[in-house]
Structure formats: structure tokens, C-alpha cells
A and B are shown apart, each in its own frame.
Chain A
Amino acid sequence: DSGVTQTPKHLITATGQRVTLRCSPRSGDLSVYWYQQSLDQGLQFLIHYYNGEERAKGNILERFSAQQFPDLHSELNLSSLELGDSALYFCASSFGPGQMNTEAFFGQGTRLTVV
């Protein structure tokens, strides 16, 4: 158990809908990262928050948004869902503001299926 909790584990929804994925980082970790793992794109970085502030953005679509709350949990909002958004969404956390030299602990992911 990495200590990072993601809910829900599985989500099935229809095209055009909106969903929210939730991540609770390890106790004491201030950074939260979101990654998308799809069959054709592999693992891609979406966004990084540190202590409530956005630190870095990757290939995140405009239909997607995220935030980190004062209690440090994070939510990833996906709207106007398309079939191609079906993927495994990972959250990872680490203590410091960057991931470079500190181990990032990954949650078990949320499997999103858009039908």
C-alpha cells in the first residue's frame, strides 16, 4: 500500500458527461501529480500541484481541470467526455515541490470507461 488513495477505482460513464476523480496523498506529502495511462498514448503527465498551487502542466486537455484543496487532497475534473478519454488515471504524491529527486508514490488508479 503506497498510502495514496484514489476514488473511485472504476467509473463507467457516457460520452458528453462530466466526472470527478479524487486523490488523497500520503500523509505529509504536499505535492500531487496526475497522470493518464491509455493504450495508445502510454503514461502521460497531466498536471502537478504543490501545497494548493499549480506548478506544472503537461498535455492536459482544456476539457480537463484539477485543483488541490487546503487539506491537500486533489480532484481531477473531466468534462464533455469522449470515447478517447477512456484510460487509467493515476495520482502520485511526494513531499517536496518537485519530483526529480524524491520518490513519488502512486495510487492504484481510477479506471475510466467512456461508452
Chain B
Amino acid sequence: AQTVTQSQPEMSVQEAETVTLSCTYDTSESDYYLFWYKQPPSRQMILVIRQEAYKQQNATENRFSVNFQKAAKSFSLKISDSQLGDAAMYFCAYNAGNMLTFGGGTRLMVKP
């Protein structure tokens, strides 16, 4: 079974600084997708960024980028120029078929 692990229950970052959230996963599949979702206090699950496993190039969305290491099964999220609105729970997720498998989440706090 696929598993997704986020080893950092909580992280904090100073406003305008950069922070990296870690995620590792376990799978025997070769074709899959990886995602980072943000869950602010409103509880809404918001897609931050998506990475296709067969693409070697790391995905980037504005201030958000990933470091995808397929051999190491690692998928970290880097947030640059952190803003107060980035404070939320962040979930790493894996999909090789019909469902998303989520990690346990990392709570990100942003200090002004």
C-alpha cells in the first residue's frame, strides 16, 4: 500500500523568509502524481502545486516550488517570500489511480 509521510508536524517561518516542508512516500508504481494541498482555518482544501512523476523538471507556481527526487521518493515544498496568508496546514498527497493518499500534515506558522 502507498504511504505518505510528513515528518514535520509544525514549522515556523519569519515573514518574507523561505521555508521547506518535507514529504516522503512509498510506492511501487512508476506513473503517479504528487500534490501539495493547503488547508487554512477556513478548512477549504486548496491545491498548491502538482508534480507528474514522469517529469524530471520540478514544478513551480509563483512563490511555491517543489524538489522532486523520484529515486529517493521525496517531494518537498519550498515557499519563498513567506506571507502571513501562507499560515495553514499543508498536506502532501499521492495519486496513482482513483484516490488521493495524504500525509499527516504540517502546520506552518508565519511570524510577522
Contacts and interface: CB of A to CB of B under 8 A. Distances in A.
Given A42-B102, A45-B101, A100 B95 contact: yes
B97 interface: yes
Interface string A70-100: 0000000000000000001010100000111
Interface string A33-57: 1010000001111001000000110
A45 B102 CA distance: 9
A104 interface: yes
Nearest to B43: A109
Interface string B32-64: 110000000011111100101000000000000
Contacts of B50: 103
B99 A48 contact: yes
Contact of B44 (A2, A58, A98, A101): A2
A interface, size bucket? 20 to 34
B73 to A, nearest CB: 17
Interface hub of A33, A88, A101 (most chain B Cβ within 10 A) = A101
Interface string A96-115: 00111101101011010000
Interface hub of B52, B100, B102 (most chain A Cβ within 10 A) = B100
A45 B98 CA distance: 10
B68 interface: no
B33 A42 contact: no
A49 B96 CA distance: 17
Please provide the 8 A-B residue pairs with the shortest distance between their CB atoms, ordered closest to farther. Answer: A56-B98, A106-B45, A45-B99, A43-B102, A100-B95, A48-B98, A42-B104, A109-B43
21 contacts: A33-B99, A33-B100, A35-B100, A42-B104, A43-B102, A45-B99, A45-B101, A48-B98, A55-B98, A88-B43, A92-B45, A99-B98, A99-B99, A100-B33, A103-B47, A104-B47, A106-B44, A108-B42, A108-B43, A108-B44, A111-B43
